[in-house]
Structure 1
Amino acid sequence: MNAEPLRVVMADDHPRLRAHIRRSLEVGGFEVCAEASSGPEAVRFTQEHQPDVVLLDIHMPGGGIRAAAEISRLLPEIAIVMLTVSRDDSDLFDSLRAGASGYLLKDTDPERLPAALRGVLSGEAAIPRTLVARILDEFRMPGQRRLGRRSTATGLLTSREWEVMGLLGEGLSTDDVAKRLFLSPTTVRVHISSVLRKLRVKDRQAAIDLLRDDRS
């Protein structure tokens, strides 16, 4: 008696790429139970279909990393693998922090994708060798490495994120910042969370201190 195929929800905002990936997965014995084109859709379809693994693009509407974090929170038993063109350290580490067990590049041979997903479901980490070296560097000399990336990290902040953090640095509360910038408090908190992820710090005061150092 044949085992049931492993089930996957895939999310990418490019239909042609989804079709290409779907063919590779189905040839490799997977059942694609849903295709999403945005982060929120990926979360919804994952809750609906309860697949074995979710395959997420990073830079799609709604954000793949945000979707990974939400899926990891709601359904921690489901494996998450990112499939992306991004070789950026921030995307790699943010994906792993969000709960991803794999980080595959879109130039990966499609025929290898089913085996990579099976490896993740068996407890392996699906990460290209070129990116594994960066993870090892991060843990060998974490303090020195992070200091060396400060300017690059703060350069990733949007102008709105700089505005929000600047006002917080002046002592304004979240509600005060929201009123000053004509935003909702929830939107301000989203900006703060984004800054903390980009700077890899635990709280807003650490972010404020880091940004002050970067501009001095």
Structure 2
Amino acid sequence: MISILVVDDQVLIRAGLAALIRAAPDLDVVGEAATGDEAVALAARTRPDVILMDIRMPGMNGVTATERILSGGDEHRPRVLILTTFDLDEYVYDALRAGASGFLLKDTPPERLIAAVHTVASGDMLFAPSVTRRLIEAYTCRSGPAAPPHPPALALLTARETEVLTLVGQALSNAEIAERLRVSEATVKTHLNRAMTKLDLSSRAQAVALAYETGLVTPGRQAGPVG
């Protein structure tokens, strides 16, 4: 059973999402919050597997709430699925940097919402590679010049870890990376987890953002042959 915390300042949307989730046989709503402050408190108390987080709320917005929830010392870190009205909401990139696992438009069909919850609960990012690339590129360009191509943090990584991080930044899935590097998916996951631990990253989304910010991947660059 996947436990869900629903966060939205609009009561009708929040109630509708909660009702939809409760109707699914393997999902359970453990709490509902109308503000970012409530979300932080409920997340600590209920320890959900997934949080459906409204990004635009009065007071503490979804980005700040996500940062506070995921920066806690608790080893159980929920997956945060951002809810937004706009395809390229200005806060989406900031939410990814904070550790959110992806985003959903609020007009997403019910079956896709349920599938999205399962996707992030399993540890994957929600959106397709093309959408990931478009978001990261748009907001990396917005943030100004790229960082130096070899910042000190990357020196902690092995050559293979750097290679895997680069391909993750190009929005390849573990299966695609495994095929490209001619290794198993388990090996890819091991290298990625080690890289994320060394770089103090809590989500694949943060790994993608870091790959762009450090210059491993540049806007517009496609995933090319490796080796």
The corresponding residue for 1:22 is: 18
Q: For 1:33, what is the secondary structure of its paired residue?
A: strand
Greater share of helix residues, 1 or 2?
Answer: 1
Which of 54, 63, 66 is the aligned partner of 2:64? 66
TM-score where L is the length of structure 1: 0.59
Q: For 2:71, what is the secondary structure of its paired residue?
A: helix
Q: Please provide the CA RMSD for this pair.
A: 2.5
Q: Aligned letter for 1:66?
A: T
- CA gap of 1:128–1:41, structure 2 versus 1, over 3 A, is farther
Separation in 1, partners of 2:41, 2:136:
34
1:25-83 per-position Cα deviation (integer Å, ceiling 9, x unaligned): 11223111110000000000000011111110011122111000000101462111111
Deviation of residue 131 (structure 1)?
Answer: 3.3
* Matching of residues 4-15 of structure 1 within 5 Å: 5-15=1-11
CA contact (8 A) 1:36 1:42 kept: yes
CA contact (8 A) 1:72 1:78 kept: yes
- The alignment-based identity, stated in percent, is 35
Q: For 2:114, what is the secondary structure of its paired residue?
A: helix
1:75-103 per-position Cα deviation (integer Å, ceiling 9, x unaligned): 46211111111333531210101110021
The corresponding residue for 1:213 is: none
- CA gap of 1:147–1:82, structure 2 versus 1, over 3 A, is same
**Count of matched residue pairs:** 142
Separation in 2, partners of 1:53, 1:27:
16
The corresponding residue for 1:97 is: 97
Gaps of 5+ in 2: 146-212, 214-227
1:173-211 per-position Cα deviation (integer Å, ceiling 9, x unaligned): xxxxxxxxxxxxxxxxxxxxxxxxxxxx9xxxxxxxxxx
Question: Once superposed, which parts of structure 1, at least 4 consecutive aligned residues long, lie more than 2 Å away?
Answer: 86-90, 127-133, 135-139, 144-148
- CA gap of 1:145–1:51, structure 2 versus 1, over 3 A, is closer
Larger radius of gyration: 1
- CA gap of 1:89–1:134, structure 2 versus 1, over 3 A, is farther
Separation in 2, partners of 1:37, 1:31:
18
| Larger RCO, structure (CA 8 Å, separation 6 or more) | 2
* Matching of residues 6-155 of structure 1 within 5 Å: 6-28=2-24, 29-61=26-58, 62-74=60-72, 75=74, 77-88=77-88, 90-127=90-127, 131-135=131-135, 137=137, 146-147=143-144
1:103-150 per-position Cα deviation (integer Å, ceiling 9, x unaligned): 1111111222121111111121112677324136359xx5x66559xx
Gaps of 5+ in 1: 149-200, 202-216
- CA gap of 1:89–1:60, structure 2 versus 1, over 3 A, is closer
